[in-house]
A and B are shown apart, each in its own frame.
Chain A
């Protein structure tokens, strides 16, 4: 039996295969706070095709989580959004909450960072998975139960029938994240937002969870937005990567291109801050000095300039726009990108001065 087929239900997007599934145009999400307007997402433009996986990468506070929540529409009341988000050709940003809710769980769903807190501790697994099925697909109890078993099986949970009557606390973290994924996939959404889905899990489980998400994406021709701080996580599991810094997109490229020829010094720093297996032990881990800028009063010029070892006076005054490279799919925002004469010159200077990227004090 092909258990995946039975979950599919016709969404609006299935008829329009040529337009991108998600198209963001100058999306802004600002929060009204006592300190002022926090520009958590500040003008993001990108598109995502059906079946494609997009990695959204950045530090904590870069706006990547707010970006994914804005696409869903799951934002607190203090949020103000502007710009445009088209889902299967239809503008969804200004949809009233009541209508938007019908997309949640049905057309788009979300997997969260912490599987230990993301499931209702007082509700049986089976009931939690059945909830969206009964809500969106009006399944009866028996049918929903059967589907829940198939879903659990598809995310490789052993003894699925038994799990239905178990509570979340009886399952391990990895199992709970699988349950979350099964629940998110229940109604056959066209796009899955996974917000740091593996951060709270240990490394072996991380790989399994990413595997399951990738498998489901291929089986269901579903799009995935994978939000993470870890370039290593997105490397093998996405088609396209968007690098975010202080609410803005600073570089976007197909995954292979990005790793082969990244242009933005920030992307490079992110990559450098991943420990590598090839490094001898006790190698100092490269880190990015300083902290992301204040989102209430962003600095003039390039937001990254203050922390960028390659910054020049212009960077502190003028903000670079997103420019395409020779490949129109690869865009970046930098005055002196990796590979430019100024960059190479500065790198030579830094090396001559014995510059080692800043380190975490005391770690050796």
Chain B
């Protein structure tokens, strides 16, 4: 109980710190007024434009000291109001933008990670069961190929091969299509994200499985007459999951706002493209909102990973 309380306090401290650093860092980057007012933003020669600048500064809270602006932002953020975009109109509100983009990114993420797990776990078990055989060595080469290949190359190959050359999968995303159509449109982009992740998971899980299979208790299980298959699934798999879970968690956190390349190739307007566009426009509230989403995702995932650890290993529960 004490453990979970301290975890919760730590999580809040982390979120606050990340928001403060992001808030401060962005203000060093540039002048958002330029995008709000256009080229006249720096013109202080006539009173008319100075008045405009001052009005804009007041409207977007830019006339207040940094800590005050952070506090004001934070007050709105906890109520779910992510502020207005730093543009001439300030429309649509950041919350609306996120509400539009986040579900796409989440769907892509969930599909990609599900595929990665479905591909990697049986693959790793197969490799570990036949360690150092032709199967295992071929797998090693394939995983390194997938890990080494840049996402854009893999994405374009898949898109060209499976969608343009053979019309098996849709090539692009259409925002207004019904849910299941959109899910189908996300198959290739999800696969593009899933394959390199699956390769990493396969490596880790295979190595851990092989290590576990050397343990004394595996010999005990065999000496009881348990079949090789059941030794793998019932005795070796569970103790081998730790690195796999850790890396799967980190990868999930990275993918939520980091799928820019795939979003570009398959024309999915998600969070990845949103944050890059926002950084280029110096649209601070949007950047901040997405950074917060990524941070909170990481925090939640870490808690989930800890819970998973304690489900898997009774010794973690005890300590």
Contacts and interface: CB of A to CB of B under 8 A. Distances in A.
Interface of A: 72, 74, 101-106, 109-110, 112, 114, 117-123, 131-132, 135-136, 167, 169-170, 180, 183-184
B225 A102 contact: yes
Interface in B190-231: 215-217, 219-227
Given A101-B227, A122-B238, A112 B216 contact: yes
Contact of B223 (A74, A121, A122, A135): A74
A25 to B, nearest CB: 24
Contacts of A110: 220, 223
A38 B239 CA distance: 33
Contact of A104 (B222, B314, B315): B222
A28 to B, nearest CB: 22
Nearest to A107: B225
Contact of A167 (B219, B312, B315): B315
Nearest to A102: B225
Nearest to B237: A122
Interface string B84-110: 000000000000000000000000000
Contacts of B281: none
A110 B220 CA distance: 8
Given A122-B238, A169-B318, A112 B225 contact: no
Interface residues of B, number: 20
Q: Which 7 A-B pairs have the closest CB atoms?
A: A105-B225, A105-B224, A117-B216, A104-B225, A110-B223, A132-B224, A167-B314
A190 to B, nearest CB: 14
B244 to A, nearest CB: 15
Contacts of A131: 221, 224, 226
Contacts of B238: 122
A169 B314 contact: yes
B225 A122 contact: no
A119 B11 CA distance: 37
A25 B223 CA distance: 23
Contact of B216 (A101, A114, A132, A136): A114
A171 B110 CA distance: 41
16 contacts: A74-B223, A106-B225, A112-B219, A117-B217, A118-B216, A118-B219, A118-B220, A119-B217, A121-B217, A122-B238, A122-B314, A123-B235, A136-B225, A167-B314, A167-B315, A169-B318
Which of B221, B224, B226, B235 has the most CB atoms of chain A within a 10 A radius of its CB?
B224
Nearest to A193: B223
Given A118-B216, A120-B235, A122-B313, A74 B226 contact: no
A121 B221 contact: no
A121 B317 CA distance: 13
Contacts of B239: 120-122
Interface in B266-319: 312-315, 318
A225 to B, nearest CB: 13
Contacts of B219: 74, 112, 118
B235 A104 contact: no
B224 A183 contact: yes
Contacts of A101: 225, 227
Given A119-B217, A121-B217, A122-B238, A74 B313 contact: no
Interface string B137-177: 00000000000000000000000000000000000000000
A74 B222 contact: yes
